[in-house]
Amino acid sequence: MKTFTVFVFMLAFFATTIAQPIVLVTYHSKTGNTQGMAEAVALGAAQVEGVKVVLKSIAETTSEDLLEAAAIIVGSPVYNANVSPEVQAFISSWPFDDAPLKNKLGAAFVTAGGISAGEELTQMNMLQSMLIFGMIVVGGPDWTAPFGASAIVGEPPFGQQEGIAPQFVKKGEGLGRRVAELAVRMKQ
């Protein structure tokens, strides 16, 4: 009887572990700012019970990571109101035939040097790409982050401190938490 109880416990543990949706947070960061925002997004997602959070740079992210994830959250620095060339190449490399990313959750976050540097356009470009892949796009948790999360890192007063300003970290955490909550709901 004791062996049977241990077996049932182990089976329940592995079934729970396997059933956890994966939230992939992937980013490109040249200066460390977008990485800092990615860490905030991942922290927010990790606060949701029942998900597994994977944080990787786009250089480390594989097609297998994309296929295993229930949600993909992509971060880019803003380059003249566009994603970085590295993020564009990454998205262009996603598997397309037979729509393997269809119905996965998708979200975006960015970091920009200044206000009105193209944050929303850059987020919309990433979300538009996700829609082409058949993904379900998700914005932030409220009206202050409708397209995802963004941070200003160069223009005063935001660029005069070490790291990402607290209000932007909070937006990153909120985006990660919202996507993770939706991933859990969709898994049920």
**Phi and psi torsions of 86, nearest 5°:** -65, -40
Confidence (pLDDT) at 2: 58
Both structure tokens of 28: 């490109």
Nearest CA to 32 out of 127, 174, 154 is that of 154
pLDDT tens for 29-81 read: 999 999 999 999 999 999 999 999 999 999 999 999 999 999 999 999 999 99
Q: What predicted TM-score, i.e. pTM, was given to this entire model?
A: 0.90
pLDDT in tens, 1-14: 555 444 544 444 55
Residue 16 is predicted with a pLDDT of 47
Of all helices (H) and strands (E), which one includes residue 55? strand 52-57
Is the pLDDT confidence value at 174 over 60? yes
Yes or no: is domain 19-187 CATH 3.40.50.360?
Answer: yes
Local structure of residue 79 (DSSP, 8 states): B
Higher pLDDT, 41 or 156: 41
Report helix, strand or coil for 106: strand
Q: What angle do CA 105, 91, 88 make, to 5 degrees?
A: 130
